[in-house]
């Protein structure tokens, strides 16, 4: 197995990140530093990162119905609740991020290469959100969202309104995005003058949290894992 793939299976990140580890001189095979990206790892080899032995993890793929008031970062200094606490498996990390108050579908895995590709704009993974916002979304603003709207920091966000229902002062809007910008949904609607009251991600790459209560999770099926890998060219 090629060294960068081996390291990715050890939970050390995407193959690209693992290539950076190799080139930095931090990887040893059988006690000898290697910086050659073409290096192959045999079953009998011992591999070390910073002089600590590493081995491939048992790969896990999880879907979580994220509750509000949980953060998706793995480290926390201020005592806030983390989604990783719900799984009690520090090797499994969120694929991308959701704001602390945003709920819904969160994929978690220790497959570094898959996680990297699922969050890379190149693969345009569909994310569908249901937002409750103040006011009504005009036809003009729906067109602006589809054409691309400047949300600041030189970033243009594109979205597709799948459904919108106005209910006396607020709207329930279903919107699909594929770019994965930071706080993208909130920034889109705030730019258009709408306050986001609640936000729930109902789908990621076509996967839903159906049957899961807030805070509950389950392992993905082989079919679901295969589906995600096909979306990003890993199968």
Task: State both tokens at 115.
Answer: 């996680």
Task: State both tokens at 158.
Answer: 């594109």
Active site residue 69: no
Report helix, strand or coil for 189. Answer: helix
User: Regarding beta strands 156-157 and 149-150, do their DSSP bridges make them parallel or antiparallel, or are they unpaired?
Assistant: antiparallel
Contact 201, 63 (CB under 8 A): no
Cα–Cα distance, 161 to 144 (Å, whole number)? 11
DSSP 8-state secondary structure symbol assigned to residue 150: E
Q: How many residues does the chain have?
A: 235
CB atoms within 10 A of CB 12: 19
Cα–Cα distance, 160 to 198 (Å, whole number)? 18
Q: Where are the beta strands (DSSP E) in 153-224?
A: 156-157, 159-166, 170-177, 196-204, 217-219
Cα–Cα distance, 58 to 192 (Å, whole number)? 45
Selecting among 45, 69, 89, 99, the annotated active-site residue is 99
DSSP 8-state secondary structure symbol assigned to residue 123: G
Report helix, strand or coil for 36. Answer: coil
Residues with active-site annotation? 99
């Amino acid at each position: 197995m090629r060294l960068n793939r081996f390291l990715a299976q050890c939970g050390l990140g995407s193959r690209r990140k693992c290539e950076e580890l190799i080139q930095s001189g931090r990887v040893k095979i059988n006690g000898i530093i290697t910086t050659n990206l073409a290096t192959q790892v045999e079953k009998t080899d011992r591999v070390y990162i910073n002089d600590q032995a590493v081995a491939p993890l048992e790969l896990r793929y999880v879907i979580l119905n994220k509750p509000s008031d949980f953060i998706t970062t793995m480290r926390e200094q201020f005592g806030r609740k983390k989604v990783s606490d719900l799984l009690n498996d520090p090797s499994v990390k969120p694929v991308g991020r959701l704001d602390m108050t945003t709920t819904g579908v969160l994929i978690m895995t220790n497959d570094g290469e898959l996680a990297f590709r699922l969050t890379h704009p190149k693969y345009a993974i569909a994310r569908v959100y249901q937002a409750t916002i103040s006011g009504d979304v005009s036809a003009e603003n729906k067109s602006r969202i589809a054409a691309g709207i400047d949300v600041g920091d030189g970033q243009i966000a594109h979205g597709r309104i799948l459904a919108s229902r106005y209910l006396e002062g607020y709207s329930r809007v279903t919107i699909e995005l594929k770019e994965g910008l930071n706080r993208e949904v909130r920034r889109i609607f705030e730019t258009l003058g709408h306050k986001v009251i609640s936000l729930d991600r109902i789908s990621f790459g076509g996967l839903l949290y159906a049957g899961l209560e807030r805070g509950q999770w389950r392992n993905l099926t082989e079919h679901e894992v295969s589906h995600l890998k096909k979306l990003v060219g890993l199968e």
